[in-house]
Amino acid sequence: MSAVESVGPQALPALQEQVEQIIAEAKRQGASACEVAVSLEQGLSTSVRQREVETVEFNRDQGFGITLYVGQRKGSASTSASGPEAIRETVAAALAIAKHTSEDEASGLADAALMAKDLQDFDLFHEWDITPEQAIEMALSCEAAAFDTDSRIKNADGTTLSTHQGCRVYGNSHGFIGGYA
């Protein structure tokens, strides 16, 4: 995936900024509280069958979801679109839902005092920089190894090699924001 920018820790500041923009928009539109999760993911998948390449797929997805509150009324919406218009529309959709739900006195964010303060880095991101050609070669090699174990093996359901990376940021109107890759 070296031809495409990596989805790793370096993407976190931009996602944190997006979370802050979404929270600000929710407040601007009248939400009394909200929580937002933004994600960015990408992956490569190759499959071979009978010593032939069947598929090579690349995916890159981004999106966000918001749950907001108007008093004790709750609404949620999500989108895979990005940009200011998508933020405005998704917040407006969640707000419209919240305005039509019943009040629930148990609904809302956890108390602000319960929010984590010192977030640890768990060293979760371990990039595997592999090209589609390398992935195909590895999958073909694995399938060949299966065929080589016994001459009676004439057919196989195929071999798939997939790699995936992503990052996620969560924030809420209490001022908490944190993420990982």
Q: Is the pLDDT of residue 4 over 80?
A: no
**Residue ranges covered by each domain of the chain:** 9-106+121-180
pLDDT single digits (tens) 17-52:
999 999 999 999 999 999 999 999 999 999 999 999
**Under 8 Å between Cβ of 68 and 33:** yes
**Under 8 Å between Cβ of 161 and 134:** no
pLDDT single digits (tens) 116-161:
988 888 999 998 889 999 999 999 999 999 999 999 988 888 999 9
Give me the phi and psi of 63, to 5 degrees please.
-170, 175
What's the fold here for domain 9-106+121-180? PmbA/TldD fold (3.30.2290)
pLDDT single digits (tens) 77-127:
999 998 999 999 999 999 999 999 999 999 999 999 999 988 888 999 998
Task: Give the sign of the dihedral formed by CA 93, CA 97, CA 103, CA 104.
Answer: negative
The pLDDT value given to residue 6: 74
The pLDDT value given to residue 2: 44
